[in-house]
Structure 1
Amino acid sequence: MNHFKRAWLSVIRRKGKSLILLVLIFVLGNVIAGAFSIQQASKNVEKTIKYQLGSIATIALDNDAIMKEMETNPDFDFSIKGLSVKDIETIGATDSVKYYDYSIMATLQSDTIKNVESNNPGVLRQSPTEGQQRSMFELRGINNPNVTLITEGKISLTNGRVFNADEVKAGKLVVMASEPFMKENNLSVGDMLTLSNIITGSSENGEMTDVEKRDVTFEIIGTFTSETIKEKKENDINAQFFQGQYDNLLLTPNKVAYEEAAYALEGFQKQYPEMFENQTLTTEEFIMQYVSPVFALNDPKDVESFRAAVDPTLPKFYKVNTSSDAYDSIAGPVKAMDSMAQITLIVAVSATILILSLVIVLFLRDRKHELGVYLSLGDRRGRVVGQIVMEVMMVAFVGLTLSLVTGNYLAKGLSSNLMKPSDDPMFGMPMYNEFASDLNEGDVLEAYKVELTPEYVGLFYLIGLSVTAASTIVPTVYITRLNPKKIMM
């Protein structure tokens, strides 16, 4: 009789002990299957959400590092030298970067052109003083002629055109403006727009007055509008918080924005020289200090390798931020479930090995005479051990198959009860980054699905049968120490 047939007969003839072993494996298998299902679902949702978050990386001041330095160094100098244009171009030339952009900011004003008013709490507006009619506008430079905000889907071109490479390189006086801005001021593509760069200072009586002023006239080449909120998020405060932020934005080549920023900075230095007594940065360095370049990577999986390669090369107090960083702030419930599942899985596997080992040893003690007969008849110890392992594996396979389905349902029920969205609409809202996705905690919970997949089934059987095999180590030692002569006496 071969050992497989002998193992099968041993299982079916010892129905009581086989049933006890089956129930034990079924119960422990449910715990392992449930914990493993939650782990697999957590990994899948992390992969899905990080892919949806995109592959954008930015370089900006590390405010945490600056605050820490200020606490330890009372003489901290805020003259932080940032990235130069050459540095940005060097990083942008790496293989993982699809394209890059950076924006120099300036502020222009007008007594005749009107601001677009907004009631949105996320859009900051400068409140005019009593009797003041002057409006202020953000002039944002671009290096990417196709406009990164359009490429990344934050705004869309509605009329006219984007910039061409010659206009960006030469610093032509051309702008793109929002549709609400154009409507508010009755403007059209092709019209000329004149704004002022004004330097203010204190008069003898302490009131603010205009000290210097120069007008800048632009040709409007195109208009844009903010992308509409997805239907499912029309009542989501997180998605709406920054709607309307581009209504008073004017896009122009970086060279134009730099000239206006430099004019304003130099005028301000003349008016308040005491504020710049210890300034060691040049005008260009001062302006570039607050520029955060944007790098669009070829693939979301390149994000971490890009960070690892670029971070060590950055000036002090600068760091790489990526679109996938937002995952940590919006995936709180999933990460908590994943941590719980990891601990449960480790405990369940350890307990299964211990309990099965003890149960198998107890069952084998009742079969000591049978095993002694096999050994005395010349059966090798290895074959006897193999028979015991086959017996346990047969029962284990049936128990694991049953627990595979029930454990999965157990994981679904546990997840649905524990993973509830926060009642606070602002919870899980990541720190604002205009190139970040508008995904929030609700999207993460929606993407979280506990389901049976071929990968999950294969890995579960691998873990379950490996644990069962490991449980036979102690019984194996027990068998190898048996002395057939003493048993048969």
Structure 2
Amino acid sequence: MNFVKRAGMSLGARRSKTAALLAIFTVICTLLFGGFLLQSAAAHHQADAQRTIGVDVTVKQKGLTSALADRLGASDIVNRYTPQLPVRAAGHGFAPLTSKASKPGGETRDKDPGPLAVNGVRDSGMLLPFSYGSMKIVAGRGITPEDRGQGVALIEQRLADENHLEVGETVQVRSADGERTAALTIVGVFQDPTQNPTRWTPPHELPGNALYVPMDTAQDLGTRGATVSEAVYRIGSPDQAEHLHAAAERLLGAGSFDFRVNDKAYQDQVRPIQQVGTFARLIVWVIALASALILGLIVTLQIRERRTELGVLLAMGEKKWKLIGQHAVEVAAAALPAVALASLAGPLAGQPAGDALLGRQDDKPPSAAPAPHSEIVPLTVRVEPATVVNVAGIGLGISLVSTVIPGIGILRLHPRSILLDTE
């Protein structure tokens, strides 16, 4: 009789033990699903963290131009970037703020032709004060790459309050030499926590006189020799900082620039996620090894219980490898439906575990300043076809190992010794 058909008849005749084997395999596969789902969720969570948090790299060089900053920003490893071009300008039709303290020498009026500190940026959200929350937009929005060629501005709240300006209104800004004027629509109002100096301070150094505009607007208002003060680049991980540094050396020259990496937010968020992924992989291996051991013991006990059956089959001329194959088929037949049942129960175990382990990564100490770009989307555990294939493969591997290794004892059996054994 075909050993596969004999395995099916044996499973039907031993229903209670078959049901127990199915239950054991269902628990094993459910735990495997939980481990794989947690591992997959950690990988997706880490990828999302790399995309949303990233690592900020600040590049400074004397004479750095907007064109060079853009060329470095075109690198494949750069997700977002912004240069910062500071220029001086004057208000036209509205009054810049002035220091309330008296100017040394008794003069109280300031005739500075450029009392406004205009900063040309590509993406204001990339500036570290905005990125890490020390400066906050209280109305409207910031400057984005889509604002290129648009006359827009992000102004400080004190300047807006002093001149009764709101989002949507238009102001006139004149270059320091008085030759060029730009009409700017206010798209946002931000708040700088820096207090006004108690001593007399030039108007362009007052925190309330800061404006952020698109790069081309700042270039139009500035002088021909205006250069970028710094450029901030966001990359996926600290490992990519070396590649960006090498690209900067090729573009700017070795040793001619300042290169600073700020990866604190990345390390605070991503390193715990990586630890969860490592823990999930360890869980899978421990479950697989423990399951193979447990099932191996069960099969060994079954072989001892079925010694008479084995002796009869051997006496009838059945080959020993087919006896081992019969046990392997019996165990595998319980493993496959267990995978289907576990695919339904796996997410029920994986989701709470993922929420408990990965959900903590979004929490911050009360003293930490929240970073807008560090917010990660909620974790969602999903069963994917690859996960089912992995669990099925491990399940079949466990069934094979747990039957073949104990089945080695069958190879040493002799039908006469089995049938004459009274134990």
Root-mean-square deviation (Å): 4.8
Q: Contact 1:103/1:254 (CA < 8 Å) preserved in 2? A: no
| Partners of 2:175 and 2:221 within 8 A in 1 | no
Give the whole-Å Cα distance in 2 for the aligned partners of 1:241 and 1:183. 13
Q: Which residue of 1 aligns with 2:305?
A: 366
CA contact (8 A) 1:104 1:258 kept: no
User: In the alignment, is the contact (CA less than 8 A) between 1:381 and 1:480 conserved in 2?
Assistant: yes
Structure 2 residue aligned with 1:138: 117
The CA deviation at 1:6 is 0.5
Distance 1:83 1:355 in 2: 70
1:83–1:458 Cα change, 3 Å: farther
> TM-score of the superposition, structure 1-length normalised?
0.58
What is residue 105 of structure 1 aligned with on the other side? 86
The one-letter code matched in structure 1 to 2:394 is I
- Are 1:178 and 2:149 matched, yes or no? no
Give matches, 1:75-86, under 5 Å.
84-85=64-65
What is the SS of the residue equivalent to 1:155? coil
Instruction: State the 1:11 CA deviation.
Output: 1.6
| Alpha-carbon distance in 2 for matches of 1:101, 1:395 | 59
Where in structure 1 are there 5+ consecutive unaligned residues?
A: 62-79, 116-126, 165-174, 196-214, 229-239, 262-286, 431-436
Counterpart for residue 449 of structure 1:
380
Query: Counterpart in 2 of 1:422?
Result: 363
What percent identity do the matched residue pairs reach?
Answer: 21
Shift of residue 194 of structure 1?
5.8
Alignment pair present for 1:377 and 2:311: no
Q: CA contact under 8 A between 1:108 and 1:139: conserved in structure 2?
A: yes
CA distance 1:294–1:16, shift in 2 (3 Å): closer
2:119 aligns to what SS in structure 1?
strand
Alignment size in residue pairs:
365
Q: 1:292 aligns with which of 231, 238, 241?
A: 231
How far apart are the structure 1 equivalents of 2:318 and 2:242? Answer: 59
Q: Is 2:116–2:209's contact at 8 Å kept on the other side of the alignment?
A: no
CA contact (8 A) 2:73 2:233 kept: no
5 Å-filtered alignment, 1:25-64, equals: 25-48=25-48, 50-51=50-51, 53=52, 59-60=57-58
Question: For 2:184, which of 218, 222, 242 is the aligned residue?
Answer: 222
Secondary structure, counterpart of 1:472 in structure 2:
helix
Q: Separation in 2 of the partners of 1:375 and 1:428? A: 75
Q: CA deviation at 1:405?
A: 2.8
**TM-score for the superposition, normalised by structure 2:** 0.65
Q: Secondary structure at the match of 2:324?
A: helix
- TM superposition shift of 1:218: 4.2
Q: Is 2:56–2:262's contact at 8 Å kept on the other side of the alignment?
A: yes
Deviation at 1:393, TM superposition (A): 0.8
Matched, 1:311 2:290: no
- Taking structure 1 as reference, are residues 466 and 223 closer, same or farther at Cα in structure 2, changes over 3 Å only? farther
C-alpha distance in structure 2 between counterparts of 1:12 and 1:246, whole Å: 83
| Runs of at least 5 residues in structure 2 that lack an aligned partner in the other structure | 128-139, 194-206
Find 2:403's aligned residue among 464, 472, 480: 472
1:190-209 alignment to 2 at 5 Å? 191=172, 193=174
- Aligned equivalents of 1:36, 1:82: Cα separation in 2: 51
Deviations 1:186-213 (A, max 9, x none): 8985845365xxxxxxxxxxxxxxxxxx
Change (3 A) 1:11 1:423: same
1:390 equivalent in alignment to 2:372: no
